[in-house]
Structure 1
Amino acid sequence: MTKKPARRSIVSSFGAMSLNASEVQADEKTLDVAPAPSLPTTPRVPAGVIGAAQRTLSDIREERDRLQAIVDAGIAGLAELNAELIDPSPFPDRLPDDGSAAFDDFKRSIAEDGQRVPVQVRPHPDAPERYQVIYGHRRVRAARELGIPVKALVRQLTDTDLVVSQGLENASRQDLSWIEKAVFARQMEGAGVRARDIRGALSIDDPELARMRSVWRAVPSDMIIAIGRAPKVGRPRWVELAALLAADPVKITTAWKILSADKVRAELSDVRFQIVLGSLADANKSTEAFNLEMAAGGGRSVGKAVFGEREIRLKVDAKAAIEFKAFFKQELPALIERFEASRVER
């Protein structure tokens, strides 16, 4: 005798899947379900640190999508805040703009059409009745200058949650330059955000985060600010600049001298960057190429002197090496005395 297939309820078959009340009757009527063909099972990834990190980022993304759905549906509940009570995020993600034209256009659109998308803020952790921006800095600035209230969603966030949420928002913005993303990654790392969360928030991989670290560790923060957003300058040239500064810290002083010139400060940030990089690269080439032939009056050469930016090397021919070594050792004290005397005379 063949047995009839077991009768299973939708609820028992699909467990936690939520269905519309109109689709599932209160008495959970049963249905005949044909046996499903057996499929090869795929081993599940164990819930560990990676799973926890993914859940954290997934939760924040879901929260962002939920808030966006609220805005799109026009559901009430948005707060209208005095712009004067809203402070910047403690983790800035923007470098100074080259000019005010773009912001003026943005402010004009707010004045004419109103604020269509709310900002997100959190209660200020140290100042009652004040707030800090999660994202929407330009909207807050525009409202402050126009003297109008700011439409805002208020969320309770820790510093870590704030920078991760801010990073997720940044990942979807196309106008952030590469160095701005690198600076924000540094902000997140400084706040104790784990590397995997930084990668997830900015949609970057581990090699890219390593390149960002190499830049922000070699190029001083105030120098990055002095150069500016440099929107047309990508990762390769920032990495090149970082390598030049890391190889010789003296070049940091040189770069500051270049940036302090009035005519350089007046240029756009892309041009400022190119002037600094070009000057340091040219100086590097000139010092590497300076060789001096060590030749006697009769023209016979005994070797070469190679002058680097911070070192001098003597390359003596093998035939003259032993004699030159003894001679140089004997003459060196007198040569140093002459050098010191010349410094005093100056």
Structure 2
Amino acid sequence: MNKATDRSKKMRAMFGGVDPAELSKSSTPAPSMTTATKQRVSSGAIKSMRNTFSNVEKENEKLRQMMQEGSVAHEFDTAELDPSFVADRMIVANDQDFETLKASISTSGQQVPILVRPHPEADGRYQIAFGHRRWRACKDLGIPVRGFIKDLSDEALLIAQGQENHERKNLSFIETALFASRLAKSFPQTVISKAIGKDATTVSKLLKLINALPEDFIREIGPAPKIGRPRWEELAGHFVNGQLPDPFKARVNAVTITADFELSGSDERFSSILSACKSAETTTTAATGSVATAAKSWLGNRQILMKDGPNALSFQIDARKDPELAAFLKKRLPDLMDEFRSDYLKEDA
């Protein structure tokens, strides 16, 4: 039995009514691959397999722990369940990943149970902590959904909900930002950080971005799984006090009312709206014959002049008056660039 089959067996043992003691049995070592076979396996495929096995092991460990605590997977009528009181995911039309999940459950059954708690306000009902997509898939298929029941406080439910999504990495950047924004209405920053697996600085950036963009506007675009923080911030830069200026709004509206936009995926919707904003910006600049004047402000004891314009941010230092400051900043810039790249890669991963 190879490792993949062994892991599948463990999953079936956990969820298919087999004695949990089966999980502790050792497996026969996988036969070694020949040199020719190894050469046919790409490094990308190996990495993908490792990631898949890693995710399976995380699920195994989480669910083993629940079994050790005496938890038993129950079958629920999907109509008995309600979603979490804080939404974390956008439901969009033509969601191919969801259709693939539904087909998998239809063919092979629900492999991983969901997690629910007794509904705090409705006797005989349950509220989902995580597994909303599996619940929706079973609901569409007209079959019961399997899940564990666990008493959870509001805070514990949200942390479980957020951490499960963080481990699976299946929430897009903007869905994570919206989830953080909704949590911020009722919960402290410490809960938000635990729920989304981000530090306080990143949480602040997410909330700042959401404050700049209307939620209805974000929903019109959708989850945009391939679009990260820098491009969302670029789009937000065209908004003023949460609204698009009239020339930008007219150009964006002309895009969003088309049939192509309606049929497009969310990544394509984002790109078309950002392109419309850039086009409006170019047209407005050409019509006025000049670029908007940059806002000027001083830093320190009038040592650094900062110019913040619509298309550029610059800093100016008089090296004759402050040679030490100029030399210090010049020395630190490479380190600041490294820090920026590290944050960029971490948040956009």
Same fold (TM over 0.5): yes
Deviation at 1:142, TM superposition (A): 2.0
Look up the match of 1:152. Answer: 147
Per-residue CA distance 1:79-136 (angstroms, 9 max, x = gap): 2211111112221111134524332321222223222211011222222211121110
2:107 aligned to which of 106, 112, 124: 112
Look up the match of 1:129. Answer: 124
Look up the match of 2:269. Answer: 272
Determine if the alignment matches structure 1 residue 89 to structure 2 residue 84.
Answer: yes
2:94 aligned to which of 89, 92, 99: 99
Deviation at 1:72, TM superposition (A): 7.4
Look up the match of 2:197. Answer: 203
Q: Structure 2: any 5+ residue segments left out of the alignment?
A: 1-58, 293-349
Determine if the alignment matches structure 1 residue 215 to structure 2 residue 209.
Answer: yes
Q: Distance in 2 between matches of 1:115 and 1:65?
A: 15
| SS of 1:199 mapped into structure 2 | helix
Determine if the alignment matches structure 1 residue 225 to structure 2 residue 219.
Answer: yes
Look up the match of 2:260. Answer: 263
Which letter does structure 2 place at the counterpart of 1:82? D
Deviation at 1:206, TM superposition (A): 2.6
| SS of 1:193 mapped into structure 2 | coil
Q: Is 2:75–2:144's contact at 8 Å kept on the other side of the alignment?
A: yes
Look up the match of 2:175. Answer: 180
Q: Is 1:80–1:149's contact at 8 Å kept on the other side of the alignment?
A: yes
CA pair 160-248 structure 1, distance change in 2 beyond 3 A:
closer
Equivalence map 1:1-346=2 (5 Å): 67-70=62-65, 77-97=72-92, 99-190=94-185, 192-246=186-240, 249-251=243-245, 253-254=249-250, 255-291=252-288
Q: Distance in 1 between matches of 2:120 and 2:69?
A: 29
Which letter does structure 2 place at the counterpart of 1:147? G
Which letter does structure 2 place at the counterpart of 1:235? R
CA pair 156-77 structure 1, distance change in 2 beyond 3 A:
same
Greater fraction of residues in helix: 2
The number of equivalent residue pairs is 232
Q: Distance in 1 between matches of 2:203 and 2:195?
A: 12
Q: Distance in 1 between matches of 2:179 and 2:204?
A: 14
Q: Distance in 2 between matches of 1:179 and 1:273?
A: 11
Deviation at 1:285, TM superposition (A): 2.8
Deviation at 1:66, TM superposition (A): 7.0
Which piece of structure 1 moves more, 243-252 or 275-284?
243-252
Q: Is 1:167–1:201's contact at 8 Å kept on the other side of the alignment?
A: yes
Which letter does structure 2 place at the counterpart of 1:285? T
CA pair 263-79 structure 1, distance change in 2 beyond 3 A:
same
Identity over the aligned pairs, expressed in percent?
A: 33
Which piece of structure 1 moves more, 270-279 or 104-113?
104-113
Per-residue CA distance 1:262-293 (angstroms, 9 max, x = gap): 3212211111111111111221233234446x
Q: Distance in 1 between matches of 2:106 and 2:70?
A: 23
CA pair 98-149 structure 1, distance change in 2 beyond 3 A:
closer
Which letter does structure 1 place at the counterpart of 2:214? P
Q: Distance in 1 between matches of 2:87 and 2:65?
A: 27
Q: Distance in 1 between matches of 2:95 and 2:72?
A: 33
Deviation at 1:237, TM superposition (A): 0.5
Q: Distance in 1 between matches of 2:150 and 2:68?
A: 19
Which letter does structure 2 place at the counterpart of 1:288? T
Could you tell me the TM-score, scaled by structure 2's length? Answer: 0.59
Q: Distance in 2 between matches of 1:283 and 1:76?
A: 58
CA RMSD of aligned residues (A): 2.8
Q: Is 1:160–1:188's contact at 8 Å kept on the other side of the alignment?
A: no
Q: Distance in 2 between matches of 1:235 and 1:99?
A: 24
Q: Is 2:209–2:236's contact at 8 Å kept on the other side of the alignment?
A: yes
Per-residue CA distance 1:243-269 (angstroms, 9 max, x = gap): 211368343744455323332122111
| SS of 1:103 mapped into structure 2 | helix
Deviation at 1:235, TM superposition (A): 0.6
CA pair 210-139 structure 1, distance change in 2 beyond 3 A:
same
Greater Rg by CA: 1
